[in-house]
């Protein structure tokens, strides 16, 4: 039972770490669509055009910053996920084959919650 529990947790940890690594690389390259360079400017409306261009630039910067912050949270969470998985492995190795401690089960639940949170953060970025 102990081996099955660790195999299941270890598999999830590896899957999420690999997914985070590949998603991290993809997310950094992903940006908002480029601004069209073919905007129409009417006489007397240059202030409106300038204003809307500034708003677009600000929106793009904000989107990039949010994406960067989200990516950093994913990296931090996956680092914590790895540490928890290593702690779980150490605790499982210490336990005997007939009995798992409550701490091991709680640690596994904590890993599961964190892994789901990382998955949701990755999904929200798509």
pLDDT tens sequence across 60-92: 999 999 999 999 999 999 999 999 999 999 988
CA distance 6 to 42: 67
pLDDT of 31: 47
pLDDT of 98: 77
Residue with tokens 């904000």: 62
Residue 10's pLDDT band (boundaries 50, 70, 90)?
Answer: low
Question: What is the average pLDDT across 1-28?
Answer: 48
pTM of the model: 0.55
Q: Does the pLDDT of residue 23 top 50, yes or no? A: no
Token pair of 95 as six digits: 């336990």
Determine which helix (DSSP H) or strand (DSSP E) holds 3, and give its type and residue range: helix 2-29
């Amino acid at each position: 039972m102990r081996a099955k529990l660790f195999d299941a947790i270890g598999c999830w940890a590896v899957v999420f770490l690999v997914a985070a690594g590949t998603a991290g690389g993809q997310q950094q390259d992903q940006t908002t669509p480029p601004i069209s360079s073919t905007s129409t400017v009417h006489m007397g409306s240059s202030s409106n055009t300038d204003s809307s261009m500034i708003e677009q630039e600000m929106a793009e910067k904000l989107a990039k910053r949010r994406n960067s912050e989200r990516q950093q949270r994913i990296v931090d969470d996956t680092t914590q996920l790895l540490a928890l998985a290593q702690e779980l492995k150490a605790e499982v190795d210490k336990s005997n084959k007939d009995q798992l401690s409550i701490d091991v089960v709680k640690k596994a639940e904590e890993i599961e919650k964190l892994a789901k949170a990382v998955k949701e953060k990755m999904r929200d970025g798509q």
